[in-house]
Amino acid sequence: MTALLEADALARHYAVRQGGWLGHRVPLRAVDGVSFRLAPARTLALVGESGCGKTTTAKLVLGLIPPSAGAVRFEGAPLPKPNSAAWRAARQKMQMVYQDPLGALDRRVPVLHQVEEPLAIHHGRTSVAAERRDRARAMLEAVGLQPHLAMRYPHELSGGQRQRVVLARALILEPALIVADEPVSALDVSIQAQVLNLFEDLQARFGVAFLFISHDLKVVRQVSHEVAVMYLGRIVEQGSPEALFTDPAHPYTRALVAAIPVVRRHSARTRIVLEGDPPNPIAVPPGCPFHPRCPVAVAACRAEVPALKPLPDGRLVACHLAHGEAAPLRRAA
Amino acid sequence: MLRYTLSRLLRAVLTIAAVVTFAFVVLRLSGDPALLIMSVDAPPEAVEAFRKSWGLDQPVWVQYLRYFVQVAHGDFGQSMRDGRPALELVMERVPATLALTLPAFALKLLLGIPAGIYAALHRNRLADRLTMVVSVAGFTVPSFVLALLLVLVFAVNLGWLPSGGAESWRHAILPVITLGLAGAAVLARFTRSAMLEVLGQPYIRAASAKGLTWRRVVTDHALPNAAIPTVTIVGFMVGSLVAGAVVVESVFSWPGVGRLLVVAVANRDLAIVQTILLVIAATMVCANLVVDMLYGWIDPRLRTTRAAEA
Amino acid sequence: MASDIVAPISLPVPAARTKGAIRRFLEAWPPMVLLGLFWIGLMLTVALLADLITPYSYTALDLRGRLLPPVFMDGSWRHVLGSDELGRDVLSRLVVSIRMSVLIAFGATIISATLGTSLGLLAAHFRGRVEQVVLALVDFQASMPFMIIALSVLAFFGNALPLFIALMGLNGWERYTRIARGLTIAANEQGYANAVRQLGAGPSRIYGLHVLPNIASTLIVTMTLTFPEIILLESGLSFLGLGVQPPMTSLGNMVGYGREYITRAPWIMLTPATVIVLTTLSISLVGDWLRDRLDPTLR
């Protein structure tokens, strides 16, 4: 089965001037060698803290920015140049959904017309307005928005309703891929659950693949088929949600999972508190990028960059210790 | 701070260069400069000599560079009317203009700022409404109308003050009031809205919740913060003073630079016009520079970010 | 929010109902604003119907009826607002002057708004070099008082009417540019314009259907600020004899001519001056009110 989306050693660097006008240039490694494959109608989640490169990866995957190295292939073909006519036509197959639905909607246009707009843009000459309106109405129903809200303005709807509108607009062209960048982070927890269920329904109904970006592990656990944890522009662990959450292999993943708040009377969870400086994509440490903060780092971690390799159970991990390539330090009891 | 200063200086220099270029372009576009700057009945040999001396037979970019050099040396050509060097003519009128604009500036500050602060502190009460109505009158009444009204009332009907000329300090009263009032009105409005915005901030409430008297809250917290945007408008006021001086000097027959400009425009005495344009540009650029420096010094946010960057 | 709550039914008392209705009307439309709108409407009507309402031609001389006072100062109905030093009817000249000043102000405002907005959109769309050039122009324009620039251009190029209107149109364009650029950049980076671009829309759709309607209200408010400025600038220049030239007449022109007769016949100067003040006042009031209504977050 050919992958819908393939990222191959994607990298994106920015040259940043440090020290004002006359400072020297240093590379900002936003994305530093990311590879993955996404099959049709599956969900891959990208998880990590701010600055780890998730959003940049999303932009690279959609062809919004060109990569500094590596390649992206969509349905087997490379992506067209950003903002060219071919790129605009390709929008019918891939769409993006953002964190802030209010900002993404035009406050002067009723939501029905905004959902209709992609049809007007791409099929404007081959369709009639009434037809498009009907399709838009059907789409709104599919995302669970009550029909009497169709002619409302965005600021007259709640956050959850707006996100549904945005999803409807993204889906109306029936794209094969939707990249969702923190789509539920701005919503109340109870609404989050509803919208996440919606994602699953839509995937079953329309067969759309999701690249789901989030910093919130709990959210990701529910919707994704596969999870990739990113740190400083690299994927450090990738596998099924269950495997990652019950038995994380990479020390960073372990710290993330341990940090998930849990309501339990007798909490047997030990928190892993990371020390050291927060990740700075301008000053990526040599060797494993995580080693300054890793509680179990050894000399090899400083020297050599760990490759993302499969473990016996199929998971991918980038860690010398996880693969048994280096001996863990014996901690004094 | 150093970086900020340097970038502002650079900007100032660039603006002056832009104005000089503007003057050069406009001069060239409006016809043969030799014929324009020399008087109409100058003998043809003089015109030719002028052409040569200004290098008008050279390619354009050479002329441009020569123009720059000439300007830097203070050579702006000669007045059409009496043949004296334009720069000299202009500079000897500057004191007269300063005699009007400096007191007017002080008047604007002394009237406008306290009025605006007072209005903000007594928001929506009579004092505020009154101040706002008066200040609206200040910027809807054009300065020439105000000048003529003042002349009508004080010079013609009441006979208290002279209506024109510049013989004594009494002659300066009406022009200064005219110049100052309009700007004071604008300043009052602006200060009021700056104060209101500051007073609506959470830190003001926090300050008074700490137990400070309202007076202390205003003097220690509100005023300094409201000063920041007010400083930016001071630069704008210098510009409007200059523009206002043009009209006011004409109405009151005050022998300053503004009046000279009007006369020069009417006579198309381009050397003078060009000179005044450049002198005013230099003044404005300096004023803006001072304001920028002041702003960078007053606003602590700018101070610390510069320090962090350096 | 969607709400299906039925509004409570109340039985209004007729008298209280009308009083409440009047109060609500006055709250939505403050009296000063109404007066302002009325005056603006009056000026527009006068400007449009100028040729029909002037009792005399504005150049018609009446050498036997010079310097006649207006009708409310012991004058006659022959010259309702008096006559000037050449016997020309002040009312007629006033009407024609209003048309001239309104025409110039309108033309200049539209030129200014179009120029400024286009530059702002260009700067926001292309960023990089184009933006730097536009910003440098904005700086240049903002650093000099426009009166001085205007005077220089008038000196060099003369003051034929079309040139004069174009020159007035250069007043204040930088304000539109700053606003258009700021709002468009915000829309482009994080907002609705970016989202629509994501959908595959081309620039004409993005800017024409989405950005412009959204920034229109802010631009209109700015127009109400620059319109009176242009009136003041034009009348100032005409007053100095450098703007509108005879035989054409404008409000500033009339004040300029009336200056010499300020003692003997003050009405020649006072009538156009009053019109100028009332017009700028009305537009400022209406503009302030519009700004509060359209966007309270605008400062």
pLDDT tens sequence across A109-140? 899 999 999 999 888 888 888 889 999 999 89
Written as tens digits, the pLDDT of chain B (310 aa) is 677 778 778 878 888 888 888 877 777 776 665 665 565 666 777 777 766 665 666 667 777 777 777 777 777 776 666 667 778 888 888 988 998 899 999 999 998 888 888 888 887 788 888 888 888 878 788 888 888 888 888 877 777 777 677 677 777 888 898 888 888 888 888 888 888 888 888 888 888 888 888 888 888 888 888 887 788 788 788 888 888 899 999 888 888 899 999 988 888 777 788 888 888 888 888 888 888 788 777 777 665 544 443 3
End-to-end CA distance of chain B: give it in Å, rounded. 8
Residue C294, SS3 per DSSP: helix
8 A C-beta contact, residue A98 and residue C194: no
DSSP classification of residue A225: S
Q: How far apart are CA B139 and CA B135, in angstroms?
A: 7
Alpha helix stretches (DSSP H) within chain C: 14-28, 31-48, 50-53, 90-126, 128-143, 146-157, 161-169, 173-189, 192-198, 203-205, 212-239, 251-258, 267-294
Angle (nearest 5°) at CA A100 between A99 and A105? 130
How big is chain C by its Cα radius of gyration, in Å? 24
Q: How far apart are CA B310 and CA A23, in angstroms?
A: 10
DSSP classification of residue A111: H
- Chain B partners of C284 at a C-beta cutoff of 8 Å? 136, 139-140
Averaged over C283-299, what is the pLDDT? 71
Closest CB from C190, C191, C199 relative to A118:
C199
Residues 149..168 of B with a Cβ closer than 8 Å to C: which?
Answer: 149, 151-152, 156
Tokens of C26: 């006055």
Q: How far is CA C47 from CA A81, C82, C98, C101, in A?
A: 55, 20, 6, 9
Residue to mutate among B144, B274, B278, with most C CBs inside 10 A, is: B144
- Chain B partners of C272 at a C-beta cutoff of 8 Å? none
Q: Does A88 touch chain C if contact means CB atoms closer than 8 Å?
A: yes
Q: Is A9 left (phi over 0), alpha (psi -120 to 50) or beta?
A: left
Decide if pLDDT at C299 tops 50: no
- Chain A partners of B307 at a C-beta cutoff of 8 Å? none
The three state secondary structure string of C205-252 is HHHHHHHHHHHHHHHHHHHHHHHHHHHHHHHHHHHCCCCCCCCCCCHH
The shortest C-alpha distance from B289 to chain A (Å) reads: 20
Decide if pLDDT at C131 tops 70: yes
Verify whether the Cβ–Cβ distance C201 to A117 is below 8 Å: yes
Verify whether the Cβ–Cβ distance B280 to C148 is below 8 Å: yes
Residue A230, SS3 per DSSP: strand
- Please choose, from the candidates A130, A125, A116, the residue with its C-alpha nearest in 3D space to the C-alpha of residue A171: A116
The three state secondary structure string of C82-112 is CECCCCCEHHHHHHHHHHHHHHHHHHHHHHH
Verify whether the Cβ–Cβ distance C299 to B193 is below 8 Å: yes
Residue to mutate among C185, C192, C218, with most A CBs inside 10 A, is: C192
Tokens of B299: 């606003």
The three state secondary structure string of chain B is CHHHHHHHHHHHHHHHHHHHHHHHHHHHHCCCHHHHHCCCCCCHHHHHHHHHHCCCCCCHHHHHHHHHHHHHCCCCCECCCCCCEHHHHHHCCHHHHHHHHHHHHHHHHHHHHHHHHHHHHCCCCHHHHHHHHHHHHHHHCCHHHHHHHHHHHHHHHCCCCCCCCCCCCHHHHHHHHHHHHHHHHHHHHHHHHHHHHHHCCHHHHHHHHCCCCHHHHHHHHHHHHHHHHHHHHHHHHHHHHHHHHHHHHHHCCCCCHHHHHHHHHHHCCHHHHHHHHHHHHHHHHHHHHHHHHHHHHHCHHHHHHHHHHC
Q: Does A98 touch chain C if contact means CB atoms closer than 8 Å?
A: yes
The shortest C-alpha distance from A25 to chain B (Å) reads: 15
pLDDT tens readout for residues A37-82: 898 889 999 998 877 888 888 888 888 888 888 888 888 888 888 8
Full DSSP string of A27-60? EEEEEEEEEEEE-TT-EEEEE--TTSSHHHHHHH
Residue A7, SS3 per DSSP: strand
Q: Does B266 touch chain A if contact means CB atoms closer than 8 Å?
A: no
Burial class of residue A225 in the structure, from the number of CB atoms within 10 Å of its CB (0-12 exposed, 13-18 middle, 19+ buried): middle
Report all structural domains of chain A as residue ranges with CATH numbers, in order of start. 5-247 (3.40.50.300)
Q: How far apart are CA C273 and CA B137, in angstroms?
A: 13
Decide if pLDDT at A332 tops 60: no
Q: How far apart are CA C153 and CA C156, in angstroms?
A: 5
Q: Does B309 touch chain A if contact means CB atoms closer than 8 Å?
A: yes
Residue C166, SS3 per DSSP: helix
Decide if pLDDT at C298 tops 50: no
Tokens of A192: 């989050």
Residue labelled with tokens 């400086």: A277
Angle (nearest 5°) at CA A150 between C208 and A89? 45
ipTM more than 0.90?
Answer: no
Nearest CA in chain C to A106: C192
Q: Does A79 touch chain C if contact means CB atoms closer than 8 Å?
A: no
8 A C-beta contact, residue A21 and residue B3: yes
Closest CB from C148, C242, C262 relative to B277:
C148
Residue to mutate among A16, A17, A18, A21, with most B CBs inside 10 A, is: A21
* Sign, CA torsion B4/B6/B7/B8: positive
Percent of chain A with pLDDT over 90: 11
Q: Is the pTM of this model over 0.95?
A: no
Averaged over C231-236, what is the pLDDT? 91
Q: Does B3 touch chain A if contact means CB atoms closer than 8 Å?
A: yes
Nearest CA in chain C to A120: C201
Closest CB from C140, C156, C242 relative to B30:
C156
What pLDDT sits at residue B106? Answer: 92
Decide if pLDDT at C293 tops 80: no
- Chain C partners of B12 at a C-beta cutoff of 8 Å? none
Decide if pLDDT at C213 tops 50: yes
| Contact partners, residue C186, CB within 8 Å, separation at least 6 | none
Decide if pLDDT at C4 tops 60: no
Angle (nearest 5°) at CA C193 between C190 and C198? 85
The shortest C-alpha distance from A19 to chain B (Å) reads: 6
- Chain B partners of A21 at a C-beta cutoff of 8 Å? 3, 7
Q: How far apart are CA C242 and CA B268, in angstroms?
A: 11
Burial class of residue B233 in the structure, from the number of CB atoms within 10 Å of its CB (0-12 exposed, 13-18 middle, 19+ buried): middle
8 A C-beta contact, residue A47 and residue A238: no
Residues 212..251 of C with a Cβ closer than 8 Å to A: which?
Answer: 213-214
Residues 130..189 of A with a Cβ closer than 8 Å to C: which?
Answer: 146, 148-149, 152, 156-158, 169
Q: Is A182 left (phi over 0), alpha (psi -120 to 50) or beta?
A: left
Q: Does B2 touch chain A if contact means CB atoms closer than 8 Å?
A: no
Give the number of beta-carbon pairs within 8 Å between A and B. 6
* Maximal CA-CA distance, chain C: 77
8 A C-beta contact, residue A107 and residue C192: yes
Q: Does B264 touch chain C if contact means CB atoms closer than 8 Å?
A: yes
Q: How far apart are CA C142 and CA C136, in angstroms?
A: 10
Q: How far apart are CA A231 and CA A221, in angstroms?
A: 18
